[in-house]
A = this chain, B = another copy of it.
């Protein structure tokens, strides 16, 4: 919950009253171990999930077993804001590490959101950000070299964690195996390993027991053409419109 508050509060002023309404939402805490499903491709989505702790992944499988990870879901992230209750999910969501989730009924969630413009703005903003991350993922996989991909993803995750913890650390805790990096970056496990080794050899990063240390952020950012603006982390000024969605 705390991470959700941090994450959502990052973008716009959300007063204590609004937080109270989130907290009052009936919900169920669930846990999953690595690999377990959360949302299955092809099924209707009747719940909003919020990651409390651990990582989850959105992904699509191909018939022959190839897997593409669309995005990592970190604590504070939620899904599927957009498609709830309407569409069949076109991708799956699974636990990447041990993960704790808050499950909220879609219509409860929507009702709460509808009654609080500030909350609505915050979640809307989170959805914008998520779409931006998808777009960057396309660029990363489509036009970047392996080296750039790996570095770029590390920097993105690092920033996203910072948005929730509130401080930008040079250490990125990685609760997931490198195989997931491979499937996220469209590379083979072997090549991810080799590429990381090269980054290490160049003094850009260091790997620790379960994480990555960013040794030279500036050089790494340049090397990977990383520009955090796409994450839309600037504070949002509250600027209401009329209602913008189905009533």
A194 at the interface (CB under 8 A from B): no
User: What's the number of copies of this chain in the assembled complex?
Assistant: 2
Q: Show 8 A/B contacts (Cβ-Cβ < 8 Å), sorted by A.
A: A60-B136, A68-B142, A85-B241, A86-B128, A110-B244, A111-B242, A120-B247, A243-B247
SS class of chain A's interface: helix, strand, loop or mixed?
A: mixed
- A242-B236 contact in complex given A70-B138, A134-B135, C-beta closer than 8 Å: no
Q: Are A131 and B82 in contact (CB under 8 A)?
A: yes
A218 at the interface (CB under 8 A from B): no
Residues of A with Cβ closer than 8 Å to B?
42, 58, 60, 62-63, 66-68, 70, 82-83, 85-88, 90-91, 107, 110-111, 113-115, 117, 120-121, 124-125, 127-128, 131-132, 134-139, 141-144, 184-186, 225, 229-230, 232, 236, 239-247
Which partner residue on chain B sits nearest A58 by CB separation?
B135
Q: Are A90 and B138 in contact (CB under 8 A)?
A: no
Q: Are B131 and A131 in contact (CB under 8 A)?
A: yes
Tell me how far the C-beta of A169 lies from the nearest C-beta in chain B, rounded to whole angstroms: 25
Q: Are A246 and B121 in contact (CB under 8 A)?
A: yes
Q: Are A82 and B128 in contact (CB under 8 A)?
A: yes
Q: Are B245 and A186 in contact (CB under 8 A)?
A: no
Residues of B within 8 A of A107 (CB): 241
- A114-B243 contact in complex given A128-B83, A134-B131, A134-B135, C-beta closer than 8 Å: yes
Q: Are B244 and A240 in contact (CB under 8 A)?
A: no
Q: A141-B142, A244-B244 are in contact. List 10 more A-B contacts (CB 8 A).
A: A42-B229, A87-B128, A90-B232, A107-B241, A117-B246, A120-B243, A124-B245, A241-B245, A243-B247, A244-B246
Residues of B within 8 A of A241 (CB): 85, 107, 110-111, 114, 245-247
Residues of B within 8 A of A90 (CB): 132, 135-136, 229-230, 232
Give complex CA distance A247, B115 in Å.
9
Tell me how far the C-beta of A100 lies from the nearest C-beta in chain B, rounded to whole angstroms: 25
Q: Are B67 and A143 in contact (CB under 8 A)?
A: yes
Residue A245 contacts which of B85, B236, B239, B245 (CB distance < 8 angstroms)? Answer: B245
